[in-house]
A and B are shown apart, each in its own frame.
Chain A
Amino acid sequence: MTVAATPEATAAIAARTGRPSLRHRLAERGIDRVLLLLVPGVLFLVLLFVYPFLYGLQLSFAPEQGGPLSNYQTFFSDPYLRDTIATTMWIGLPAALINVLASVPIAYQMRGRFRGKRTLTTLLVVPITLGTVLTAEGLIQYVGPSGWVNKFLRDFGLVDQPLILIHNYWGVFFSLVITGFPFAFLLVLSYLSGIDPTLEQAAASMGAGWRQRFRYVTLPLLAPGLAITFCLSFVLAFSVFPSANLVGDPSGSTRVIAIAAFHAAFEQYDYSMGSAIAMIMGAVMLAVIALVLGWRSTLYRGATGGKG
């Protein structure tokens, strides 16, 4: 925050010191030196995000043949391309939802202080460090046709045929949950820690059992944070690429939109089409985020508007 010095104050300082300091002269124009700290960040953002985005955007409107919109027309008229949106949604939405919903009860149990909390948090967060490829390898080892899970199921006569849990929808889904859960959990935990614990104590003293405390006090205060967590989880899941290839069925049930973009750009060398798909991907994500944030704002008003 910058507090612009009033002309009188600046004049007074100038009168005392002879000449106002650089800081005061800048402050008079509403510039605080602290603002300079933002410069590297802004530069970074321009170089790493804004420039590639604008470049990609213009590229998507400059196809090798056809009018400026022909890439988009192709995408939406070709079911093989168009359906990747639904495929990605069908993987990303449930995975993000599961990650958020599973985080809530675990984080809720862990919101207080107890012995071993740090160890438990570390254990829950470790999958972040694994990376997608390692997770995929682990999944193949574990739930693949000759993996431990199927071995166990067959040994106990629970199934005749091995359960197919990789190289299909479920492989990608599990991979997304394993890598996405720690993010969601950490976020939900920090949102929960931000809620004053005496609020729940107050609710308890007024006769609310834990269910009611959660429903009337914790959940309404946590919900905006859950919306944000969902958005971030969804973005992570929606741009799924490596696991869709490694443990999915990249030419069929898990042909996600990122694969389509990759295919266009690096196998058909149609960068313009690849850019168009990337733009569509971004637009879909933004649409979902806008929807969730819209819900978040109604929820705020609902909670503050008062009920029963």
Chain B
Amino acid sequence: MQDQRFSELRLAGIGRTFGAQAALRDLSLTIRGGEFIALLGPSGCGKSTALNCLAGLLPLTTGSIWLDDRRIDGLPPERRGFGMVFQNYALFPHMTVRDNIAFGLKMRKVPKSELLRRVDDVMRLVRLEDHAGKLPPQLSGGQQQRVAIARAIVYEPPVVLMDEPLSNLDAQLRLAMRTEIRRLHQTLHLTTIYVTHDQVEALSMADRLVVLREGIVQQVGTPDEVYGDPANRYVAGFMGYRNMLELDVARVTGTEAVVTGQGVRFTGRAFGQLETTRAVAAIRPEDIVVEAAGPNQVQVIAEVVEYHGHEMLVEARLPGGDPLFFRTEKRLAPGDATTVSVPTDRVLVYPADTPAALVEEVA
């Protein structure tokens, strides 16, 4: 049996290559017991690789993994004792819901009476009591998902690993399950490492985010830090900074940068090494204010207007011809000219070229 309590799980420069391709490079991270970590990045960036390395399903090519003072990266998966929720759920099709959930306890040779009690408890926790005798193919997607989670937490593993657990569910169910997973985490305080490509999911669930790109960590931080101060233009793009205007650097003073071009002149916050003459100004559509006096004013012409309930998403043209996206409650029609402004602390200025490999020093 594993010691369930630990104070930290430490990944020391772990990496994994497939042939010549590095799927994961030099990931170092210290996870506190009970923490909820989200690994965030687009498809193919090495999230599953990282998770499988942690679970022991893939051997590391570099680095080591420590659970407090115990080095665990040489242990096979069955001796790490982590819980894992697979993207395709990987439920045993020939076993009932109850047997699927009991599997981990059975492997641990938990006495029958305790096993039954704990399986019942967990089934109640994930609201599956009524489906105990069913086989996985007879369940809906959301129910299968709950079996997968129940199965991974019933033996109270020190760490639960989840690989895009909600990506196969429809939008509504995804919202419900998101809350459910968060609730489970708050009830049980299980250290959770959660892989997703959905930044909303990561931001809303995690205590800390790890943003990956091409196997390399771009930024580690709380949702607030990653959302408010993305470390580079790549993270910014991932965090909903939809406007990426490539402009010339006019002036950099300390943390303030002035960029020009496209008939605009923006003052914003400088990130990274801004020696280059070209820079990218990242602006979120929701940070742009319409028809209000403010800094960073610019004249735009609305081109496409999408109805999004209580607000509109507008694609407008800058004087230079590039598109600018913004959200507004004002009713604009295509062809309308309007003035927009952006608070200076909501304009993030990054070096124009950020190769994935150079990002570490910045982050």
Using a CB–CB distance below 8 Å, which chain A residues touch chain B?
196, 198-199, 201-209, 212, 216-217, 220-221, 303-304, 306-308
Q: From residue 120 to 168 of chain B, which have CB atoms closer than 8 A to chain A?
A: 133, 135, 151-152, 155, 161
| CB-based closest 7 A-B pairs | A206-B104, A207-B107, A205-B84, A202-B90, A204-B77, A198-B90, A306-B96
28 A-B contact pairs sorted by A residue (CB < 8 Å): A196-B88, A198-B86, A198-B88, A199-B90, A201-B90, A202-B84, A202-B86, A202-B90, A203-B92, A203-B107, A204-B57, A204-B77, A204-B78, A205-B78, A205-B84, A205-B152, A206-B104, A207-B78, A207-B107, A207-B108, A208-B78, A208-B103, A208-B107, A209-B78, A212-B107, A303-B95, A304-B94, A308-B102
Given contacts A204-B57, A207-B107, A208-B103, contact A304 B135 (CB under 8 A): yes
Contact status B103-A203, CB under 8 Å = yes
Against A, the Cβ 8 Å flags (1 = close, 0 = not) of B65-93 are 00000000000111111111010101111
**Docked complex Cα distance between A266 and B35 (Å):** 82
Residues in A neighbouring B133, C-beta threshold 8 A: 306
Q: Is the CB of A196 within 8 A of B81?
A: no
* Nearest CB on B from A146, distance (A): 51
Determine the distance from Cα of A179 to Cα of B345 in the docked complex, in whole angstroms: 78
A306 touches B99 (CB 8 A): yes
CB closest chain-B residue, reference A307: B99
Assuming A201-B57, A201-B86, A205-B82, is B106 touching A308 (CB within 8 A)? yes
A220 to chain B, nearest CB (A): 5
Residues of B within 8 A of A (CB): 55-57, 76-84, 86, 88, 90-96, 98-99, 102-104, 106-108, 112, 133, 135, 151-152, 155, 161
Report the minimum CB–CB distance from B158 to chain A (whole Å): 13
Q: Which of B98, B99, B108, B112 is most buried by chain A, counting CB atoms within 10 A of its CB?
A: B99
Instruction: List 14 other contacts, CB 8 Å, given A204-B78, A306-B133.
Output: A196-B88, A199-B90, A199-B92, A201-B55, A201-B77, A203-B107, A204-B77, A205-B84, A206-B107, A207-B78, A207-B104, A217-B92, A221-B94, A304-B95
Smallest CB separation, A112 vs chain B (Å): 12
* Cα–Cα, bound, A153→B35 (Å): 68
> What is the bound-complex CA distance between A198 and B48, given in angstroms?
13
Complex contacts, B78 vs chain A, CB 8 Å? 204-209
Bound-state CA distance A104–B8 (Å) is 43
- Complex Cα–Cα for A216 and B95 (A): 9
Distance between A290 CB and nearest chain B CB, rounded to angstroms: 23
B-chain residues with CB within 8 Å of residue A217 when the two chains form the complex: 92
User: What chain B residues lie within 8 Å of A306 (beta carbons)?
Assistant: 95-96, 98-99, 133
* B119 CB to nearest chain A CB (Å): 11
Of A196, A204, A216, A217, chain B has the most CB atoms within 10 Å of the CB of A204
Closest B-chain residue to A300, C-beta based?
Answer: B94
- Residues of chain B within 8 A (CB-CB) of A307 are 99
Residue of B nearest to A200 (CB): B90
Which residues from chain A contact B98 at a C-beta distance below 8 Å?
A: 306
Contacts of B57 in A (CB 8 A): 201, 204-205
Q: Assess A205 versus B83: contact at CB under 8 Å? Given A198-B90, A306-B96.
A: yes
Q: Is the CB of B155 within 8 A of A206?
A: yes
Docked CA distance A217–B135 (Å):
14
Bound state CA distance, A199 and B93, in angstroms? 9
Considering only CB atoms, which chain A residue lies closest to B79 in the complex? A207
Highest count of chain B CB atoms <10 Å: which of A220, A221, A306, A307: A306
Q: How far is the CA of A224 from the CA of B78 in the complex (A)?
A: 27
Q: Which residues of A contact B80 (CB under 8 A)?
A: 205
- In the complex, are the beta carbons of B76 and A204 less than 8 A apart? yes
Distance in angstroms from A306 CB to nearest chain B CB is 4
A202 to B95, CA, bound (A): 13
Which residue on chain B has the smallest CB distance to residue A201?
A: B57
A207-B95 in contact (CB<8A): no
Residues of chain A within 8 A (CB-CB) of B103 are 203, 206, 208, 216
User: Of B77, B88, B95, B99, which one neighbours A205 at CB under 8 angstroms?
Assistant: B77
Q: How far is the CB of B161 from chain A (nearest CB, A)?
A: 8
In whole angstroms, what is the CA distance A203 to B80 when docked? 13
On chain A, the residues within 8 Å of B96 by CB distance are 304, 306
In the complex, A116→B96 CA distance in Å? Answer: 38
Residue of B nearest to A213 (CB): B78
A262 to chain B, nearest CB (A): 45
Q: Separation in Å of the A56 CB from the closest CB of chain B?
A: 42
For the complex, give the distance between the alpha carbons of A306 and B93 in Å.
Answer: 11
